[in-house]
Amino acid sequence: MIENLVKKSAVWLNGKGPHAEVVLSSRVRLARNLVEYPFVHRAKVEQLRKIGTAVKNSLQKVDYLKKANILPLHSLHPLDRHLLVERHLVSYDLIKHTKERVLVLSEDEKLTVIVNEEDHLRLQTFASGLDLSDAYRLIDRVDSDLESELDYAFSDQFGYLTACPTNVGTGMRASVLLHLPALVLTKEINKFLRAVSQLGISVRGLYGEGTEVKGNFFQVSNQVTLGKREEDILAELEKIVKDIIGYETGARETLLKDARAFVEDKIFRAYGIIKNARILTSDEVINLFSAVRLGIGLGMIESVDVGTLNELLIFTQPAHLQRLFGKEMRPDERDIARANYVRERIL
């Protein structure tokens, strides 16, 4: 099954969603627990197994998940676990402790169910560009179907009960992955980070919580779930993201007006490197793609589209690259293979 992931790209990477020039993807996540079992950190191994069995049995009664792939994480090769992280399907924390943890992946890769991470179930959906509504419609439907089969832990006073108090209520986290190179280049990014944090929005790196910012990609998400309706959380986050898009667009216009030669040089230098380099590291290629992506957004580069760059951002990472070439490689071998692969896709 893992081999199939490197044969195709996820639908949400296609670069065809709203505001795709700035927003790579939207994600909605729901945390749920079963009422008859303790939270994961308090549960015994046998209880975790029973949770896994209950979830697997319920999948067969949910139309959207009948053909889903079920991946027990402990049975996967370490390389494949890292591939799932690179694919944004699981977190780094999840692959550190894999016992009784399971990933359920829908056939179209738009929805996952993670069993026995921090909560008994964590559902998440993805959509291309800024499209939280599309992501929510799917996850809400699947969650309702699962809830008809599973007895969720729910309080009339507090809402859905979760292992982390900050998730209590709707149990929902919505996030958007933004590319903000102009705000970084104009040194406005710290002002933006301070402003959004005051609005109850958290900002993380490319791979979520605990990861660093790479390639000028920032993941923004809501922090509060208690006392709010799901629709209100999504509407508030979408408004903030649209404001951020406006600031980024303004910063791009400022760069073109005040530093056009600098911007053009940065973009076309990066484009020249990815078309001609014979060695590329994973961190280097993320930064080069960032500059080229900016060039696409500014209309300077038309021979490559955002969807292709989205795919390359994932497929040039170490685990994907090794699975693509069908063998494990040393870092120096990966750097050569990465450059070859990028040239093949770009030229």
pLDDT digits (tens, 9 = 90+) for 257-302: 999 999 999 999 999 999 999 999 999 999 999 999 999 999 999 9
pLDDT at 211: 64
Find out whether 206 is annotated in a ligand binding site. yes
Residue in 179, 130, 135 with CA at minimum distance from that of residue 19: 130
Find out whether 122 is annotated in a ligand binding site. yes
Find out whether 26 is annotated in a ligand binding site. yes
Find the mean pLDDT for residues 307-335. Answer: 96
pLDDT above 90 (res 204):
no
pTM, rounded to two decimals: 0.93
Count other C-beta atoms under 10 Å from residue 299's C-beta: 8
pLDDT at 93: 82
Provide the mean pLDDT of the chain.
93
SS3 128: strand
Find the mean pLDDT for residues 89-94. Answer: 87
Find out whether 174 is annotated in a ligand binding site. yes
More confident residue, 104 or 204: 104
Residues facing residue 79 across a β-bridge:
none
Find out whether 97 is annotated in a ligand binding site. no
Find out whether 204 is annotated in a ligand binding site. yes
pLDDT above 70 (res 86):
yes
Find out whether 28 is annotated in a ligand binding site. yes
CATH 3.60.110.10 fits 2-253, yes or no: no
Find out whether 200 is annotated in a ligand binding site. no
Find out whether 344 is annotated in a ligand binding site. no
pLDDT above 90 (res 16):
yes
Find out whether 177 is annotated in a ligand binding site. yes
Sequence-distant (≥ 6) Cβ neighbours of residue 188 within 8 angstroms: 247, 251
**pLDDT above 70 coverage of the chain, percent:** 98
Find out whether 334 is annotated in a ligand binding site. no
Count other C-beta atoms under 10 Å from residue 223's C-beta: 11
pLDDT at 5: 86
Find out whether 173 is annotated in a ligand binding site. yes
pLDDT above 80 (res 206):
no
DSSP states along 19-52: TTTTEEEEEEEEEE-BTTS--GGG--HHHHHHHH
* In the chain, where the domains are located: 2-253, 259-346
- Whose tokens are 């209520």? That residue is 169
pLDDT above 80 (res 98):
no
Tokens of 78: 């370490």
Find out whether 208 is annotated in a ligand binding site. yes
DSSP state of 215: T
212 pLDDT band, cuts 50/70/90, is: confident
Min mean pLDDT across 76-80, 213-217, 223-227 is at 223-227
pLDDT tens for each residue of 137-176: 999 999 999 999 999 999 999 999 999 998 999 999 999 9
**pLDDT above 90 coverage of the chain, percent:** 82
Single-letter amino acid code for the residue at 312: L
